[in-house]
Structure formats: C-alpha cells, structure tokens
Chains A and B, each alone.
Chain A
Amino acid sequence: MSQQASSSPEASQMIRDIGDINFLTIALIVLGTWLAIALVKRALPWVAERGPNRMRLWLLGAVPIFRLAATALAVIWIVPMVIKVTMENFLVIAGAVGVAVGFAFKDYISSLIAGIVAQFETPWRAGDWVKIGSDYGEVRSVGMRAITLRTLHDDTITVPNLKLWDNNIANSNDGERTLMCVADFYIAPPFDAQRMRAALRDVALTSAWLCYEKPIIVFVEQAEVGTHIELRAYPFEMRDQGHFISDLTVRGKEAIQALGAREVTAPAAAG
C-alpha cells in the first residue's frame, strides 16, 4: 500500500509522509480506546447486576452507545493523522473501501451497519426480552456485529445484527421494566365462565410477583380442544417471568379444580 501510494501522485498527496505520522500516538489512541471499551463493557453490566433495579436497563443500554462513541472518536482522531483530509481524498478512500467491502466482507459489514442502525431504531436494547426467529431471551450484550441473548433455559445465543434486515423481531418489553406474561389454560366445557374469570383474576391479584401498575386481563376464547383461557398479567421485574408464569399456572390449576372444572389436553380432546 505504501509502495502504491508513493508511485501515484494522488495517493502520495492523500497519505501523509511516513515520517510525519506519529505511530506511537496512534497506537496509544487505539490501545486507550480498546481499554476504555473493555472497561465499560465489563464494569457497567457488573454494576447493573448489583445496583438498583430501576437503573439496570439504563446502564446496560449505555454500553453500546459508549462503544460506538469511543470508536467514532478514535477514528476521527486517527484519520487526520494518517490522511490529508480533503473532499477528493475522502471520495477516493470511500470508493476503495466500498469495493473491498462489497467483495470480501459483505455480510460482516452488513452486520456492522445493522448494528449502527439498531442503535438508532432500537428494535432491541440491552436488558430487553426479544424473540428473533425462534430464539427468545434477554439481550445480554449489544455488539457491533452481533447481540447475545440469554434464554429462559440459561443458554447463551449469539445473533448477528444482520437478522435485523429480514427477520421479524418481537420485543416483549421495549425498554420498559416489565412485560406481559401469559398463563394458558384449556378447560372442558361446561363450567361457570364468569366465576372462572373472577377466580383466575384473583390468582393474578394475589401473586407475590405482580406489578401493581399494570392491568390484569383474563382472555377467553373457544378453541377446538376446549375453552382457552389466557391469564395475562405483568410481574414487577421481567426477569421473574418464569417464576410468575409458574405461580399463575400452579395456583390457576388449583382455582380451576376448586370450581369443579376440568382441564383438557389436545390428545384427550381428540380421543
């Protein structure tokens, strides 16, 4: 590259003389940026885990923003140290980079760009519970190329940002501290539907995990296997969704039995 640059007058004007480039400063900037990003990447999630619940989403969300800002700052700082910044030089570099990227790193760059777009569109944030394709989990970290999810089964899944372009993304809480949880029941008719709704509503109202500020909905519809009842409510902390749904399900079953109704399953109904 330096040989080519020295053989071309345009390129020789574009790249600064080797002697003028302070490689030590550049190395320090790169090292400092990397250290700062690494520190923030570790420290903020650590603090978020231990600090007040209400601060967790803010702290987790600050990591990718800091990384983006630090990277941009480092690039803006380094580029004038290497290149004589003019409009012509910018266009030449942009064209060269575009061709290289188009052939060699198309998917990688697409993921990077998707990562930057995601910072502004925010289809997910760190701490959100999202479903991308068939994967559902909490966004643990948002990287430039990929995000990592932790599922309810404690698996860690890495999802490239590329998925942003062609996948439906379901965000269960969208930046809020809670999300709707649903406990499903299928009951064989006949039963007293009004009393059943009231009983299941009380099941949710008396759950220790309940968020007081959100509504409780008992949704009833007729399905082929029986009467489908969805008990929809919100826990005060979305990480407790597994506990909350279990609690609603266990106590909901008790309520159904207490009212003399009978739950059905698909094979039984089919038989």
Chain B
Amino acid sequence: MISTTPPPETHPLVPLEDVDVPAWPERAALKMAALRLRTLFTGSNQRPFIAEDRLNDSVELFSDMATPAFCEPLLAELDETLASWATNPTPKQWIRPLVLPPCDEHDLLSRWAQRHHHEVLTPPTRDDLLIDTPEQTLDLSGDGVLVIPQLEAWFLRHRCGLGMVRTLLTTLAGLKRHCVIGCNSWAWAFLCKAVDAHLILPEPLTFEPFDEPRLRRWLADIARQQADEGIRFRLSRNGKNVFALNRKGRPREKYFETLAARSRGIAWVAWHLWQRSLKKANDDADNDLSEDDQQTLWVVALEEFSLPGSDGTQALLILQALLIHGSLSARELESVLPDPGFQGMHHALHRAGFIGERDGRYYCRASAYPAIRDGLATAGFPLDSY
C-alpha cells in the first residue's frame, strides 16, 4: 500500500519571511480546541506533562536514526539551493544564513559540510564565551566554503556572553569568502534583538515547511527503505491504511495533515511524532499476519498535550533557554536563568520526557517540541518566526 504513494520531491530552501506553517484540518482543530477547553475546566496542573504511555512505548522499527538516509531529503534540498552558489567565484552574496527549525538533534548542516568536505569553523567553548576580552579577533580567511553549523554555539545569554558573536558577525560582514551559517530559529529571534543579526547578515533561508503531501511521501519513502517488506500501517481508530489514497489521488485519512500541522512542518519533529505513534499489538492475532502475510503496525491518534501556562514558569524558562542555546549543561543552564532555585526542575523535565540528556548536556526533545512551543506561546514568551 505504501507503494501507491509517490516518492518525495526536493524543494529548494525559501526565505524565512515566506514560511507558511501547515494549517490544521478543521476537524482536528475542533478536537484540539475541545481538548484544550476540557483541560482548562478540569485543571491541567494535576496531569503529568506528557502521558507516560506515550513516552515509554514505541516501536523500535526505525531505530537506525543516525544513518544519513534519515536526513537525505533535507541534504538534497541543501544541495539544490547551495550547489551553484558554492561554485560561483563571484556570488552576489558571500554569506548564506540558514535558519533551521529547532530540535535538530542530527546536526544537519555539519553533515552537509562533511559530505562536501567544506571547512567547518569550530565554536569556542561555552566557558570561553564568558571571558570578557574586548579585543577579540577571528581569522576567517581561506579558500572554499566555510560552514558555521550552529551560530547558537557562539553566544551565551549572559551579560558577558554576547562579545564573541558580535565579533564573529562583524568579521563575517566584511568577509569575501563563501560562508554558510546555520542558526536555529529561536537563537535567530534572540540574535536579531540582541546583536542585530538580521541587519548584519543577508536575509536568511530556511526549509520549506513539510505540508501534508510532502510529509506523507517522505515518511512513506523512509518506511519503504527501512521497514521490513510487507508491513502495513493502519490507524488504530478505524483500521484503515494510513497511506491509502482515493481515486483522485488524495489521502483518505487526515492523519498526515494533522501531523504536518502539529509538527509545524518541521521534518524531524514530524518524524519523531510519527515514530511515537507506531505501536505493535502484543497479541499476534492483532498483528494480522494472516492476510497476505503482512504485519500490521498500528498508528495511534496524535494526542494534544500542553504545558501548564501560568504555573510552570520555572519549567518554561528552562525550556526557552534550551531552545535558544540548542543544548546546555546544568551549570550553563544555571548561568542563563534569571533566578536561583531551578536546580530540581530540569530533572523533572527530563523525567517527563520534555528534555533529553546527552554527554551531560540537556536539549529539548523533538517529540515534545509542539507541546513546549504551545506552552511558551500561551504564557506569552517571545517566539521564533518558524
């Protein structure tokens, strides 16, 4: 049934200003509004942040997430956008800023740079960022394309933590060398305010958000590549094939339209949500092996979870800091938060599945991003523009 879905197409990157996040299908929007009202009247403070069953039980079918195949469509889009520019000896713009959606756990731009053997500028350590040395200089001279994969690694939201990024941007402003700068959308929003990044650098590009057709094709393609032959993906709600198309070639189910809206068109967020929605029945009879020897994976409905808007200020401040910086150690986190007394909250967020931890550094998990963004928006925090 997956084979009826055409393979994905590549889309060149688009200006950040033109980003149009996929809209909710009417029925899903109504359901979400009803759920939020119910949450409002029943009191959300008693509930866990995310239901535990959602976090503990997922199919390990596509566990090989580190393979480049996962990023392949996005790398192809980077190639399509940057290939001719990178080989142009006199480009109109030497600098190409790319604003990437948040929760990029796979460091996409570094992968792209490695694949093309471009020079990657190593960021300073976070401790170095806090050393106040006004006469800092950077030597960015050289040949070929220079890649700065994560601009968010060049500052710390601390009163002494902006010097290095100012120096970097000043140096870049006069640079006559191909340079690709990646920055996550939350850091970009902050840097535009803090150091006028939008005035110093040219207009940034970003991925075109994954809408329903694109998302369906992309996930079908991954399923074709990585899943065993003969697996069917059926909605647990009605048993229908989630990839099925009608006679007009349109999807029969609204699942991917809802997924596109919930993930805000961010590929990796959608992928994580998709992975979490796949369940395997415990009973072999429910796996439906009898019919054409196909195994069934059940796709459960995407549920709406939200952070408490008014009483979760500590949690929200931590999540905002992590989104802006990409990842932070516990000590760095303490240095960018306003008040003392946050020691316990990041453990609670980690336990609840909102943040992950790798090599002693905390980061917002892609699967929790929709809930995190909703929580921050509800509480009035400044948001990114993706």
Contact = CB atoms under 8 A, between A and B. Distances in A.
B158 A206 contact: yes
Residue picked from B189, B320, B338, most chain A C-beta under 10 Å: B338
Interface string A219-240: 0000000000000000011000
Contacts, number: 65
Contacts of B160: 202, 258
A43 to B, nearest CB: 10
A199 B339 CA distance: 20
B25 to A, nearest CB: 21
Interface of B: 40, 132, 157-162, 189-190, 192-194, 309-310, 317, 320-321, 336-339, 377-382
Interface stretch (A26-34, A49-57, A135-143, A157-165): A49-57
Contact of A251 (B159, B377, B378): B159
Contacts of B157: 206, 208
Contact of B310 (A50, A208, A213): A50
Contacts of A247: 338-339
Contact of B162 (A205, A236, A254): A205
Contact of B193 (A49, A212, A237): A212
A203 interface: yes
A47 interface: yes
B338 A205 contact: no
A199 B163 CA distance: 11
A202 B162 contact: yes
A71 interface: no
A107 to B, nearest CB: 38
A177 interface: yes
A178 to B, nearest CB: 9
Nearest to B158: A206
B309 A209 contact: no
Nearest to A251: B159
* Chain A contact residues, majority secondary structure: helix
Contacts of B320: 208
Contacts of A207: 338
A47 B378 contact: no
Nearest to A237: B380
A246 B341 CA distance: 15
15 contacts: A50-B309, A51-B378, A53-B380, A54-B380, A202-B159, A205-B194, A206-B336, A207-B338, A208-B321, A208-B338, A210-B193, A236-B381, A243-B339, A246-B339, A255-B159
A255 B160 CA distance: 9
B380 A206 contact: no
B247 to A, nearest CB: 42
B309 A212 contact: no
A183 interface: no
A53 B316 CA distance: 14
Interface in A48-85: 49-54
Nearest to B337: A208
A50 B40 contact: yes
B159 A53 contact: no
A203 B194 CA distance: 10
B237 to A, nearest CB: 29
B339 A53 contact: no
A208 B381 CA distance: 9
A223 B346 CA distance: 45
Contacts of B158: 206
B162 A206 contact: yes
A98 B320 CA distance: 59
Task: Please indicate which of the listed interface residues A50, A51, A205, A237 has the most CB atoms of chain B within 10 Å of its own CB.
Answer: A50
A193 to B, nearest CB: 16
A192 to B, nearest CB: 11
Given A52-B377, A212-B193, A243-B338, A206 B382 contact: no
Nearest to B45: A50
Contacts of B162: 202, 205-206
Contacts of B193: 205, 210, 212
A258 B132 contact: yes
Contacts of A243: 338-339
A211 interface: yes
Contacts of A54: 380
B321 A212 contact: no
Given A47-B40, A53-B378, A237-B380, 15 more contacts: A50-B40, A53-B380, A54-B380, A199-B159, A205-B162, A206-B159, A208-B321, A208-B336, A211-B382, A212-B193, A213-B382, A236-B382, A246-B339, A247-B338, A255-B159
Contact of B380 (A208, A236, A254): A236
B385 to A, nearest CB: 11
Nearest to B318: A208
Contacts of A208: 157, 317, 320-321, 336-338
Contacts of A212: 189-190, 192-193, 382
B340 to A, nearest CB: 10
A202 B380 CA distance: 22
Contact of B338 (A47, A50, A209): A209
A237 B313 CA distance: 11
Contacts of A52: 309, 377-378
6 nearest interchain CB pairs? Answer: A53-B380, A212-B382, A212-B193, A247-B338, A237-B380, A205-B194
